[in-house]
Structure formats: structure tokens, C-alpha cells
Amino acid sequence: MLTMTSSDPIALDARHVLQVYRRAPVVFDSGKGCALFTREGERYIDLISGVGVASLGHGHPRLARAIAEQAAVLLHTSNLFHHPLQSELASKLSALSGLPRAFFCNSGAEAVEACLKFSRRFWHAQGAPRTKFVAFDHSFHGRTMGALSVTWDDHYRAPFAPLVPGVTFVSAADPAAIAAAITRETAAVIVEPLQGEGGVRPLPQAAADAIAAACRRTGALLIADEVQCGLGRTGRMFYSEALGLRPDLMALGKALGAGVPIGAALFSDAVAAAAQPGDHGSTFGGNLLACRAALVFLDELTGGGGTSLLDHVARVGPHLERGLRAIASRQPAVKAVRGAGVMWGLEIDRPAAAVVDAARERRLLVNRTSDRVIRLLPPYVVTEEEIDEAMPLLEAAIASAMEASAQ
């Protein structure tokens, strides 16, 4: 249990924390598996997992032990020296992704920044600089200036203009437009194989094929942003695989540290060959604590801990999908069900915020993205029983929000 110094964290937040979040008025101070608990001991089913981060669920005993052990031994030495965990993590990510080199940072946005920078670095090293990027409608790549520049929604971008120039956005529904947008001036194409914040939208196969063909034709590099959809969330190790995409660079974050902040950018040998000492860096990136957590996560994911969490997601995902499709068949407000594994969106015919609130009143946590999409990103460890408990709550929340908006 945490030591609480504030009797009213919500009031203190209102006075002292930068008001950039629309937080729900609920305070959690412990969790177990897919459950979160308030100070009063109320149990909520967590189907959003800290926006796709708590991959092993809350209070995971093996992760907790590893973090405590690591904290007692050594937390951080910076990148001035070697330590044994960063290179081990890099080699494991390399084996899983086929991209042989890793740079470690602390968030998804930082991983995207590294991918954007090293795409340009690659072309600079060729002596034929290319600086332009192609990104997609509805994309979300993060909030730092570079990541924001390849993020589509003007609502996020406009207050911070001017951003990095030379970005073209293209519709994933238009393969011809994709082919035309990617030219010999394009340093890299950046794509979420399964968009998260943009409304849980899988990249159409025709778009993936058009991207691959245009990258081959022009030499443009391909960056897969797998921050949200990667590392097993869809029941595949990476969703690029499902589309037959072979990225030159990949951005990872969220699930990787299972709650401990860590991001990673992965590079092909050709891209990595351009990097020189001093080109990039991070004080905290890849420290012992973060790497230890990520190693535990990867071990659980790939079955080192006994059962493979990747297999579990591949098994439980279809059960979740069936539950969501059953809701859609009964609730006419649900217009589409999209996703894979334990990453799903229900698009409804009106703003989804009221559904999220109604679900929370029923002690179920989901969130809204892209205005009309109810998003579910449960911990990978979610069970069929927990899904069966959650589905009636979600359906009741949809029904009651629809009733309220009809009045």
C-alpha cells in the first residue's frame, strides 16, 4: 500500500498539476491482475491498462520481485558505462524483430523521435540528404515536436505550429495516393500497422502493399510505429508481420516495461551503420531498472516463465472479439468493431465519452479515442472469466448512454 500524504489528491492536482489531462474523478492506489482498487477498496475491472502499458496486469509478483531486487542492487549508471541488462535486452528485441540494433529511451514519443532522426541520418550519411516524411491520416505518434509533426490530428498540432516541415499525410484508403506521395525525396514513411489513438484502425492490406512497393521503388525507409500495437498486443509479436511489412526502423514503448517507463527504437544494419557516437542519447534511456522490467516482460511474453503470454493473447483475443461482436449485434449504436488480440475499438454513432463515464459508474474502465470510438486495451493476462464479467457491464453502459442521449 502506498503512503498517502494528500488527503485530497484531486484538489491538490487541480491546484498544482499542469491541467493537460481530463482525468476521471477517481483515485486508485492498488491493483491486482485486471483489477484496480480505490482507497475505499472499490474494485474496478481495468480494460485499458494505463493505455496499453500494464501488459502483465497490476501487482505482478515476478515483476514486483525483479524490480525490488534490481532497486536493491543497482538502478542507474547512465550510458557512460556498460551494464549487463541493456545489451541483453537489445539482443532479445533483435531476435524477436529481425532488426539487429536498439536505442533505448523512456517513452513511445522518444522512440519515434529516434526513428525520425536516424532516417534523416541515414540519408545524410549517403551524401544525398532526404528530409521528407510521409505519414497517414488519423495517425498518432506522440507529443514531442518531431512526433507531433507526423501526427495527423490538427487539434494536437495547431497550438504548437510551426512543426517540422516536409511531412505529407496520405489516406490509407487510397493506394494510388500512397504510391504518388512516396518519392525519391522521401526519407521515410511512418505508419502504425494498427492505429491506436486514431480510432483502432488496422492498415488495409492494399495500403501495406502500396507502401512496400513504393519504398522498394524509391528507396524510402519504412518506420513501423508499434508502440501501441506491437509486442504481442494483437496476438502477433508485431502487427507489421500480419501485413507482410518489413520495416527498416521500429518504435516500441508502452507494454515493453509493463509499467516501468521504457521505449526502444530498432534499426536495420544499414540504418544503424550511419550512427556515430554523439548523434543521439538519453540520460535515463536503457537503465538497469527499465531493462530488468522489460526482460521480465519479454520472458513472460515468450514463455520463459512457463506459459507464453503471446499464446494466451492469441487464445483470449477471439473470446473478447466474440463478446464485442455480440454487443454490436444487439446495440444498433455500434457501427463497427475493429482490432485484434487485446486491442479493440467499438465505433458508435455519437461521441463515446458518455459510454466511458457510464462504464466507470459500473466499475469498468475503458476509454474513448477519436471521439466516437470506445477503446479496450486490457492487460495481456486478462482471462475469459474477466471478459465475461466485463461484457454485460459494457453493454449496459452503451445502452444507458444511448438512452440518456435520446432524452
Q: Which of 97, 228, 240, 268 binds ligand PLP (CB under 6 A)?
A: 228
Selected range binding ligand PLP among 101-109, 239-247, 292-300, 390-398, rule: CB under 6 A: 101-109
HEC-encoded secondary structure of the chain: CCCCCCCCHHHHHHHHCCCCCCCCCCCEEEEEECEEEECCCCEEEECCHHHHCCCCCECCHHHHHHHHHHHHHCCCCCCCCCCHHHHHHHHHHHHHHCCCEEEEECCHHHHHHHHHHHHHHHHHHCCCCCCEEEEECCCCCCCCHHHHHCCCCHHHHHHHCCCCCCEEEECCCCHHHHHHHCCCCEEEEEECCEECCCCCEECCHHHHHHHHHHHHHHCCEEEEECCCCCCCCCCCCCHHHHHCCCCCEEEECHHHHCCCCCEEEEECHHHHCCCCCCCCCCCCCCCHHHHHHHHHHHHHHHCCCCCCHHHHHHHHHHHHHHHHHHHHHHCCCEEEEEEECCEEEEEECCCCHHHHHHHHHCCEECEEECCCEEEECCCCCCCHHHHHHHHHHHHHHHHHHHHHHHC
Give the Cα separation of 163 and 193 in Å (integer). 24
Cα dist from 350 to 123, 197, 321, 369, whole Å: 45, 17, 21, 12
Rule CB under 6 A: say whether 141 interacts with ligand PLP: yes
Residue showing cell 523512456:
106
Examine residue 112 and tell whether it contacts ligand PLP (CB under 6 A). Answer: yes
Nearer to ligand PLP, 31 or 257 (CB): 257
227 binds ligand PLP (CB under 6 A): yes
35 versus 93: smaller Cβ distance to ligand PLP: 93
Q: What is the rounded distance in angstroms from the CA atom of residue 180 to the CA atom of residue 38?
A: 53
Q: Work out how close the CB of 226 gets to ligand PLP at its nearest, in angstroms, rounded to a whole number.
A: 8
Tell me: does residue 240 bind ligand PLP (CB under 6 A).
no
Among the residue ranges 90-98, 102-110, 160-168, 327-335, the one whose residues contact ligand PLP (CB under 6 A): 102-110
Nearer CB in complex with ligand PLP: 57/199: 199
Segment near ligand PLP (CB under 6 A); pick from 120-128, 190-198, 328-336, 348-356: 190-198
Minimal CA–CA distance to 199: which of 18, 339, 60? 339
Assess 105 for contact with ligand PLP (CB under 6 A).
no
> Applying CB under 6 A, what is the total number of residues that bind ligand PLP?
14
Q: Are 116 and 280 in contact (CB under 8 A)?
A: no
- Beta strand 373-376 pairing with 343-348: antiparallel
Shortest separation between residue 196's beta carbon and ligand PLP, angstroms: 4
We find the least distance from the C-beta atom of residue 363 to ligand PLP, in angstroms, to be 25
Stretch in the footprint of ligand PLP (CB under 6 A) among 30-38, 134-142, 205-213, 319-327? 134-142
Q: Report the residue from 192, 248, 300, 386 that binds ligand PLP according to the rule CB under 6 A.
A: 192
Q: Does 341 bind ligand PLP (CB under 6 A)?
A: no
Nearer to ligand PLP, 287 or 402 (CB): 287
Question: In the bound complex, what is the minimum distance in angstroms from residue 144's beta carbon to ligand PLP?
Answer: 7
Closer by beta carbon to ligand PLP, 86 or else 107 = 107
CB of 404 to ligand PLP, least distance (A): 29
Q: Is 109 in the site for ligand PLP (CB under 6 A)?
A: yes
Closest CA to 189 of 142, 108, 245, 232: 245
Of 55-63, 126-134, 192-200, 349-357: span binding ligand PLP (CB under 6 A)? 192-200
Q: Is 108 in the site for ligand PLP (CB under 6 A)?
A: yes
Q: Among 75-83, 85-93, 176-184, 221-229, which window interacts with ligand PLP (CB under 6 A)?
A: 221-229
Q: Which of 57, 142, 323, 341 binds ligand PLP (CB under 6 A)?
A: 142
Question: Which one, 138 or 328, has the nearer CB to ligand PLP?
Answer: 138
Output 147 or 391, the one with its CB closest to ligand PLP. 147
Q: How far apart are the C-alpha atoms of 229 and 339, rounded to whole Å?
A: 10
Q: Which of residues 253-292 bind ligand PLP (CB under 6 A)?
A: 253
Choices 8-16, 172-180, 225-233, 308-316; region in contact with ligand PLP by CB under 6 A: 225-233
Residues in contact with ligand PLP by the rule CB under 6 A: 107-109, 112, 140-142, 192, 196-197, 225, 227-228, 253
